[in-house]
Structure 1
Amino acid sequence: AIAAGVPNPERVVGFHFFNPATRMKLAEVVAGAASSEAALERVRALGAAMGKRVVNAVDGPGFLVNRSNRPFGVEALNLLQARVADVETIDRIARLGGGFRMGPFELQDFGGIDVGFAVAQSFYEQSFGEPRWRPSPLSAKMIAAGWLGRKTGRGWYAYPPGRPEDPPAPKPRRGGSVAIGGGFPVLDALRERAEAGGWTVTSTEDGTIDVGGTRVPLLATGSLDALGGAVGFHALPTLGLVELTGRRVDAVEGFFHALGLHTAWVGDAPGLVLGRIVSQLVNEASFAVTEGVGTPEDVDDGMVLALNHPRGPFAWLELVGARHVVGVLDALRAELGEERYRVAPSLRRRLTNAA
């Protein structure tokens, strides 16, 4: 739109910094429809001279980095609306389970709920109603109440005091016997952690663990209701926190505590909380790359250097595995019937090629 109103549109280039611009180590160079390669290269050189990691992006909603980050806040709102977990629990799971510096609601309070909602509306309008980008009515209610975040003294949290401090991790202790299946990198990581902690580990059905005779499915391909059992769990190979759902079985939660892991009890859903957020981060980034908005390397660098994520979506994909990510998304679409969980074609192909 800016380029259309000037005599030499080929000289118009987007140059997008991240707040605070003096500290964030990345900038996006955004090509418009008429931007010349000479103009783009000149701006790239300027960014490099500033000491920035320069990534290339195509003009569109959120450019590359902010577009790829949409699910971090959007999926958290979807989880809250579905009453899978409350605000504090979702944020705590993101911090302790995923290694994010701030939880999604803490981050919304920091930036301003009204600002985030305006961005969400812009995404939705520019995409002509893309389901993945649909704004949340929860945000609209907060704005109507005047609760906009830190700047008004009240948002998802009250200020002061803000969000509660995270508890210390349980003290590891040597245990007895546990059976751990295979099929997912997180189960391999759990087996390694248990063996290092002195547990006797045997094998069991893929996609499950067995603690004291209780079968506990990993909710990576469905909800507990779909997969069956009294209690289910979800975690990522980072193994900072394990989410549990269903009937409280002391032996099961005690096993994870014995490994020094935090736990959180949430409502039933495929992927529970962190699995949904991370899977949608991977999915959105896959759509963006497929559409030529940027490269996987630029997405990952952007999420880490511009937004302080612990790793980028494609690094998450390598760590967690395509079977896990696609399993969560497919199960969500099947169980909820919502188009926003459709899998990006390139992500689906990655799973097929790995088979």
Structure 2
Amino acid sequence: MNPTVIGVVGAGTMGRGIVQLFAQAGHVVRCHDAQPGAAAKAVQAVLDQLTKLVEKGRLSADALAAIRGRIHVSEDLASFADCDVVIEAIVEDLDAKRALFRALEAVVSPEAILASNTSSLTVADIAAACEQPARVAGLHFFNPVPLMKVAEVIAAVRTAPAVVETLRTLSEGAGHRAVVTADQPGFLINHAGRGLYTEGLRVVEEQVATPADVDDVLREALGFRMGPFELLDLTGLDVSSRVMSSIYEQFQQEPRFRPSSLVPPRVAAGLFGRKTGEGWYRYVEGRPERPPARERPAVPAGVSVWIDPAASGHGELATLLQAAGARLEGEPARADLGIVQPWGEDATSAAVRLGLDAARTVAVDPITPLALRRTLMLTIATAPAARDAALALLAADAVPVTVINDSPGFIAQRVIATIVNIAANIAQRGIASVADLEAAVQLGLGYPRGPLAWGDHLGAERILAILRAQHAATGDPRYRPSAWLVRRVALGLPLTTPEAAR
């Protein structure tokens, strides 16, 4: 079936975006809303938005006229009788959606597809109200629909394969990358995005770093568009809190998705983020107030430094420190400062393993490019003089430095390893293909790389080592490695190859 007539029920923000998307793609679109006049307002809003595109030269007047002729306001569901596909975008309430789908089944043809734009409900729960559950699927878009070029096609347990293929073709014909996902909590994109939030919160919960520290490292050193706390403030902590708790409970309290105890008190206090003027940041005229930069101390005269020769970034770090005025020392006992670069290990453990004086030892994260931002980790016993000397040397060329407390895996290693591990478990469970998973995360979450590609970039064996070190150090099952990841490391298989997808 090649759908040409699409019904949209629900004239809110998402419904309007869906109407615009498919009308621009050349389909006849009928829009209905239970509230009188809402559909007409939605259609007018879409046409107003498209008129602005004409004024900017991004759409021709002829194209707008054609689109105007394809969008229709439907006063009742009876006018959906000729629809090939109906997309529901109403309130996130199971009873309301079930009632709507029962009503639609009485109107549309037996061949018509019924799709829900639900973001949190199980599609099978909605389909259970239908006489033909095989024709029901999820078709989840992201706001703003015309600009977010990804759509999740959710196959419930009884959804017919032909329905999935039709919705995939329909979405891609409208210019969106369709990713097919099983009917699991969070579907694909919200599921894959759990690592950024949960591990960022865990870092702050453990007093390793501040929210601003976490955001700065992930944004500036790793290329995220926004850090987790900036994102939580943007989406609203009240909303995000419910999503975090819902996914945790729906996955039978899987430790990888455990919400942070920091969140409920902040929600109770009304610290939702931008919309309340204060969240993890305080907002003045819509702009976040950021903490002042740490003052950079002067480089001590004649300071000597020993760098762990096993460090992966030894040569680059040595050049940087020498340019800042440090003298390299071959024996740690004779150096004023010892620097290690562990993977998954905290600075204190590295100092003990290497027989170093913890008071004169610091760690530098090897995962973050030294040209962008440097992360300096202290042992629990690092002396202020050693801390200041390390900070002075690392900041001498004005590249920003983030100073954090002791933690297995710094900030970046912890977050990236968690993201990769969750993605590996998605692949293990067959929730989506590797290709769809990678595309979904980049398009839907804006990550600079797909999660499994990130694992290949850093080395899957290194990701596994970080997870195992964190698991050993904390005993927390949230860090247990995915069997999918363990097996591929054992065989030397990249995470993104077709062989790895089997």
Report the equivalent of 2:367: 236
| 1:111 Cα deviation from its structure 2 partner | 0.3
Instruction: Supply the AA of the counterpart residue of 2:200.
Output: A
Q: How far apart, CA to CA, are the structure 2 residues paired with 1:329 and 1:224?
A: 16
Please state if 1:46 is matched with 2:184.
no
Please state if 1:99 is matched with 2:207.
no
Please state if 1:282 is matched with 2:406.
no
Farther off after superposition, 308-317 or 237-246 = 237-246
Q: How far apart, CA to CA, are the structure 1 residues paired with 2:185 and 2:292?
A: 35
Instruction: Supply the AA of the counterpart residue of 1:217.
Output: V
Farther off after superposition, 315-324 or 104-113 = 315-324
| 1:297 Cα deviation from its structure 2 partner | 2.2
Report the equivalent of 1:87: 211
**1:227-273, CA deviations, whole angstroms, 9 ceiling, x for partnerless residues?**
11511121425442221122344554455445664311001011111
Instruction: Supply the AA of the counterpart residue of 1:141.
Output: P
**Residues 254/40 of structure 1: CA separation in 2 closer, same or farther (3 Å cut):** same
Matches within 5 A, 1:48-63: 48-63=172-187
Instruction: Supply the AA of the counterpart residue of 2:456.
Output: E
Report the equivalent of 1:159: 283
Q: How far apart, CA to CA, are the structure 2 residues paired with 1:32 and 1:210?
A: 63
Instruction: Supply the AA of the counterpart residue of 1:242.
Output: R
Instruction: Supply the AA of the counterpart residue of 1:268.
Output: D
Report the equivalent of 1:222: 345
Report the equivalent of 1:173: none
| 1:277 Cα deviation from its structure 2 partner | 0.7
Report the equivalent of 1:313: 451
Instruction: Supply the AA of the counterpart residue of 1:321.
Output: G
Report the equivalent of 1:145: 269
245, 249, 255: which one aligns with 2:377: 245
SS of residue matched to 2:128: helix
Please state if 1:299 is matched with 2:423.
no
Confirm or deny: 8 A CA contact 1:62 1:123 kept in the other structure: yes
Confirm or deny: 8 A CA contact 1:210 1:216 kept in the other structure: no
**1:33-60, CA deviations, whole angstroms, 9 ceiling, x for partnerless residues?**
0111111111011101110111111111
Confirm or deny: 8 A CA contact 2:364 2:375 kept in the other structure: yes
Instruction: Supply the AA of the counterpart residue of 2:222.
Output: G
Report the equivalent of 2:243: 119
Which structure 1 residue ranges, 5 or more long, are not aligned?
171-175
Q: How far apart, CA to CA, are the structure 1 residues paired with 2:458 and 2:197?
A: 20
**1:139-176, CA deviations, whole angstroms, 9 ceiling, x for partnerless residues?**
10111111111111111111214143997xx9xxxxx9
Instruction: Supply the AA of the counterpart residue of 2:163.
Output: A
**1:34-88, CA deviations, whole angstroms, 9 ceiling, x for partnerless residues?**
1111111110111011101111111111111211110101111111111111111
Instruction: Supply the AA of the counterpart residue of 1:87.
Output: P
Confirm or deny: 8 A CA contact 2:344 2:410 kept in the other structure: no
SS of residue matched to 1:5: coil
Which structure 2 residue ranges, 5 or more long, are not aligned?
1-124, 297-303, 352-357, 494-502
**Percentage identity across aligned positions?**
33
Confirm or deny: 8 A CA contact 1:281 1:313 kept in the other structure: yes
Flag as ranges the 4+ runs of structure 1 deviating above 6 A: 209-213
Say how many residue pairs are matched.
343
SS of residue matched to 1:236: coil
Matches within 5 A, 1:323-338: 323-338=461-476
Q: How far apart, CA to CA, are the structure 1 residues paired with 2:362 and 2:314?
A: 20
| 1:92 Cα deviation from its structure 2 partner | 1.1
Q: How far apart, CA to CA, are the structure 1 residues paired with 2:194 and 2:315?
A: 29
**Residues 286/144 of structure 1: CA separation in 2 closer, same or farther (3 Å cut):** same
**Residues 183/348 of structure 1: CA separation in 2 closer, same or farther (3 Å cut):** farther
Farther off after superposition, 295-304 or 341-350 = 295-304
**Bigger relative contact order (CA 8 A; separation at least 6):** 1
| 1:352 Cα deviation from its structure 2 partner | 2.2
SS of residue matched to 1:162: strand
Q: How far apart, CA to CA, are the structure 2 residues paired with 1:213 and 1:250?
A: 12
Q: How far apart, CA to CA, are the structure 1 residues paired with 2:411 and 2:431?
A: 28
Q: TM-score, normalising length from structure 2?
A: 0.62
Q: How far apart, CA to CA, are the structure 2 residues paired with 1:166 and 1:348?
A: 42
SS of residue matched to 1:294: coil
Q: How far apart, CA to CA, are the structure 2 residues paired with 1:225 and 1:266?
A: 13
Confirm or deny: 8 A CA contact 2:212 2:291 kept in the other structure: no
SS of residue matched to 1:29: strand
Q: TM-score, normalising length from structure 1?
A: 0.86
Confirm or deny: 8 A CA contact 2:185 2:191 kept in the other structure: yes
Structure label with greater radius of gyration: 2
**1:285-308, CA deviations, whole angstroms, 9 ceiling, x for partnerless residues?**
000011001122222211111111
**Residues 25/165 of structure 1: CA separation in 2 closer, same or farther (3 Å cut):** farther
